[in-house]
C-alpha cells in the first residue's frame, strides 16, 4: 500500500470520526467498534483523536483563554486547574469518546468566523478577545460597543446560477458569466475562472481570471452564471506562492481597484498635520508608507499598477481629504490632478 493511499484513508477516517462525534453528542463513539469497522487498531483511532485535537487548534484556543484569565488574580486551586490540558474530544460518562462542553462542528465554524472577523477588532481596541466576546453576545441595547459595517442601499437581486457559482468557486470549475455593462448592454465572460465573492466598501464583487487577467465585477451586474457542458477544472494552487494567493492580495488591498501587474508605479503625497494622525493609524492607499515626517505633516508614498487604479482607487481618496492633502510626485500626475480640480471648479455654478 503506497504512502499516499494510507494518507487518504487516514483523512477519510478522521472526517468520519468528526461526523460521528457530531451525530452522537451525548452517547459518543465506541472506539473499539469504530476501529473494527475501519479495519485498524484502536491505538490508531486514539492517535487520530489526538491529531484532531491538535489540528483543529482546540487545545490551543483553550490555552489562549487560560492565558487571558491567568492575568487576573486567582487562588492556588484555580491556578492548578488551569494547568490541565483541555480537549474538546475526550472520554464521556458512557465509556465512549465524544465532543465535550456542548461543542459541535457548527460551533467550530462560529469560532472560526469570530477569530477571522471579530478578534482583529478586539485587538484594535486593545481589549482581550475573551472580554470582547462577552460584550459581543449582549443585546444591542445593553452592549456599550457598536460596530458599523458598510451596508448596501438595497439587497442584491438573486440571479440565475448563484448556487452554481458558489459551488464552482469551491471546486475550481470554469463558468460562463453574463453581465450588464453600460445600461442595457450585455457582456459575456467565457471560460471565466471564479476565485472569490468579496464584500468591500459596502458592495459585493465577483473576482476571478479571464485568461491571465484578473477581473472584478459588481455582483448586482451579473445576469446569470452557467457551467460548461463538461465541467472543466482549472488549476489554482495558492500554497505554491502564498503572496500571489487571492486571500493575500485582498488582505493587502485597500479597495477593489487593485491590479496584479508587476510594473508598480509610485506616487508621493503630502498630508497636512491636521489629518496626519489618521494616516499613521490606517492605510488609505495601496502599499502606503511614511517617507518623512515634519512639523507641517507627512510625506507618504503609495503604489498603483495602471491608470484605472489611479483614477478609480487613489484620486477619489485624495479628493475626500482636500484641502489637507497634495499630490507631490511625479510632476506629471500632480499636474493632471490639479487640472481636474480646475475643471471641476469651473463647472460649479
Assign residue 306 the CATH number of its domain. 3.30.70
For residue 89, what are the domain limits?
Answer: 3-103
pLDDT (0 to 100) of residue 298:
94
* 241 and 296 inside one domain: no
- Give residue-wise pLDDT tens across range 219-273: 888 988 988 777 777 776 666 666 667 787 787 778 888 776 655 789 999 999 9
Query: Domain boundary at 199, 218, 251, which?
Result: 251
Q: Rounded to 5 degrees, what are φ and ψ at 104?
A: -140, 170
Q: Is 80 exceeded by the pLDDT of residue 148?
A: no
Percent of the chain having pLDDT more than 70? 79
* 65 and 109 inside one domain: no
Three-state SS at 229? coil
Query: Domain boundary at 103, 137, 171, which?
Result: 103
- Give residue-wise pLDDT tens across range 14-56: 888 888 888 887 888 898 888 888 888 889 988 888 888 777 6
* 37 and 96 inside one domain: yes
* 240 and 277 inside one domain: no
> Quick one: pLDDT band at residue 111, thresholds 50, 70, 90?
low
Report if residue 259 sits inside a domain: no
Assign residue 175 the CATH number of its domain. 2.30.30.520
With 0.75 as the threshold, say if the pTM is over it. no
DSSP 190-217: EEEEEEEEEEETTEEEEEEEETTEEEEE
Query: Domain boundary at 226, 251, 276, which?
Result: 251
Give the integer Cα–Cα distance in Å for 126 and 144. 15
Residues 6+ apart with CB under 8 A from 319: none
pLDDT (0 to 100) of residue 153:
61
* 226 and 288 inside one domain: no
- Give residue-wise pLDDT tens across range 181-198: 887 788 899 989 998 888
Percent of the chain having pLDDT more than 90? 14
pLDDT (0 to 100) of residue 147:
75
* 36 and 61 inside one domain: yes
Amino acid at each position: 500500500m503506497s504512502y499516499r493511499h494510507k494518507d487518504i484513508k487516514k483523512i477519510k477516517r478522521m472526517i468520519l470520526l468528526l461526523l460521528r462525534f457530531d451525530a452522537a453528542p451525548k452517547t459518543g463513539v465506541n472506539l473499539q467498534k469504530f476501529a473494527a469497522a475501519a479495519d485498524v487498531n484502536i491505538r490508531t483511532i486514539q492517535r487520530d483523536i489526538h491529531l484532531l485535537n491538535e489540528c483543529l487548534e482546540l487545545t490551543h484556543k483553550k490555552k489562549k483563554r487560560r492565558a487571558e484569565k491567568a492575568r487576573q488574580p486567582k487562588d492556588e486551586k484555580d491556578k492548578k486547574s488551569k494547568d490541565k490540558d483541555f480537549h474538546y474530544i475526550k472520554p464521556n460518562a458512557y465509556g465512549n469518546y465524544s465532543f465535550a462542553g456542548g461543542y459541535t462542528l457548527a460551533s467550530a465554524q462560529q469560532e472560526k468566523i469570530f477569530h477571522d472577523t471579530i478578534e482583529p477588532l478586539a485587538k484594535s481596541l486593545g481589549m482581550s478577545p475573551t472580554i470582547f466576546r462577552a460584550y459581543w453576545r449582549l443585546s444591542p441595547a445593553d452592549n456599550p460597543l457598536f460596530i458599523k459595517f458598510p451596508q448596501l442601499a438595497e439587497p442584491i437581486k438573486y440571479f440565475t446560477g448563484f448556487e452554481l457559482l458558489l459551488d464552482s468557486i469551491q471546486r475550481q470549475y470554469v463558468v460562463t458569466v453574463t453581465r450588464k455593462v453600460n445600461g442595457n448592454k450585455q457582456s459575456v465572460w467565457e471560460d471565466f475562472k471564479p476565485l472569490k465573492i468579496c464584500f468591500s466598501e459596502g458592495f459585493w464583487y465577483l473576482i476571478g481570471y479571464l485568461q491571465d487577467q484578473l477581473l472584478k465585477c459588481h455582483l448586482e451586474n451579473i445576469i446569470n452564471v452557467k457551467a460548461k457542458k463538461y465541467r472543466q477544472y482549472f488549476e489554482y494552487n495558492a500554497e505554491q506562492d502564498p503572496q500571489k494567493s487571492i486571500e493575500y492580495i485582498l488582505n493587502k488591498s485597500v479597495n477593489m481597484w487593485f491590479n496584479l501587474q508587476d510594473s508598480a508605479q509610485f506616487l508621493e503625497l503630502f498630508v497636512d498635520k491636521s489629518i496626519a494622525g489618521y494616516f499613521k493609524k490606517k492605510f488609505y492607499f495601496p502599499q502606503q508608507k511614511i517617507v518623512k515626517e515634519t512639523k507641517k505633516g507627512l510625506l507618504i508614498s503609495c503604489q498603483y499598477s495602471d491608470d484605472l487604479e489611479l483614477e478609480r482607487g487613489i484620486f477619489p481618496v485624495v479628493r475626500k481629504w482636500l484641502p489637507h492633502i497634495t499630490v507631490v510626485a511625479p510632476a506629471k500626475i500632480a499636474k493632471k490632478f490639479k487640472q481636474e480640480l480646475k475643471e471641476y471648479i469651473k463647472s460649479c455654478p
